[in-house]
Amino acid sequence: MNVETKIHQLKRGLEYAATEFAKDLALFQELQGELEKLPGTEETLGDMTGYHYKAVPFVRVNYYPDTGEKAEEIRSAVQVVLKVPATREFVPSDGTMTYVFTTPRINVYITKGRPSPACVIEPVTVTKTEYKIVCPEPETAEA
């Protein structure tokens, strides 16, 4: 690769990044009113990221509260703003649950969720079979 080709690639990369930045900026400005209504504190609001999936722009908002009680408070406040109920995403491998709100333009994820009332998360021991490769030992010739 020569220097001229590398410079051309860098320019194309910068042009692409500028275009993506402009799209994200426009998306955040368009949704600013709704996003500002969401609860947010320095210690719980993780990040907001703009996405453009299949030409449909949306914002993903992540919350990382310290406790399940705080997660429940945030879930209630987000539900009032977005006017949709949360679903629960459970990860069996580590026992974590996340509240997820999905709207056409804003998706919200809140960690430290809880199961439905009267439900508990219990550990389960799983037995699985794994395989390994076994080869015969090479025979040695005796002199």
Express each pLDDT in 55-89 by its tens digit: 778 899 999 999 999 999 999 999 999 999 999 99
Q: CB–CB of 98/89 below 8 Å? A: yes
Domain that holds residue 49: 3-110
- In percent, the amount of the chain with pLDDT more than 90 equals 43
Residue 13 lies inside a defined structural domain of this protein: yes
Scanning the structure block, which residue is given the tokens 């692409």? 16
CA atoms within 13 A on the CB side of 52: 11
In the chain the first and final C-alpha atoms are separated, in Å, by 57
The total domain count for the chain is 1
**Confidence at 51, pLDDT banded by 50, 70, 90:** confident
**Does residue 70 sit within a domain?**
yes
Per the CB < 8 A criterion, the answer to whether 60 and 109 are in contact is: yes
H or E stretch at 77 = helix 68-82
- Give the chain's mean pLDDT: 88
Instruction: Flag whether 120 is in a domain.
Output: no
pTM above 0.85, yes or no: no
Q: What is d(CA 115, CA 88) in angstroms, rounded to the nearest whole number?
A: 8
Does a structural domain hold residue 123? no
